[in-house]
Amino acid sequence: MADLKRKSGESFESFLRKFKKSLKNGKRLEKAREKQHLVPKKTKRQQKKYALTSIKIKKEKDFLRKTGKLPEEEIRR
């Protein structure tokens, strides 16, 4: 963490301002926030499972469209 000590006679507000500035310049807070939302990569097994389920869902939707149970979707460009 930041190694700051409050000087004698220094107001709390000025110390707090100095502390925040040191955190911002040190980029420790920024790095911590980046790691907070880090999403791990999918494994090969998870990728294959996702691909197979998406193919299965696509086939089911195509079948339902052909039989008339699902309306045709417009292609947006």
Has residue 72 been placed in a domain? no
The H-assigned helical ranges of the chain are: 12-26, 28-36, 44-67
The neighbour count for residue 70, using CB atoms within 10 Å, is: 13
| Residue 53 included in any domain | yes
* Number of domains present in the structure of the chain: 1
Q: What is the pLDDT of residue 42?
A: 92
- Is 2 within a domain? no
Q: Averaged in consecutive runs of 10 residues, what is the pLDDT profile of the chain (77 residues)?
A: 79 91 83 86 96 97 91 72
N residues, the chain = 77
Question: What's the rounded Cα separation, in Å, for the pair 64 and 67?
Answer: 5
Containing structural domain, residue 58: 12-67
Q: Is the pTM of this model over 0.85?
A: no
Is residue 30 included in any domain, yes or no?
Answer: yes
- pLDDT at res. 76: 65
**22 belongs to a structural domain:** yes
Q: Is residue 44 part of a domain?
A: yes
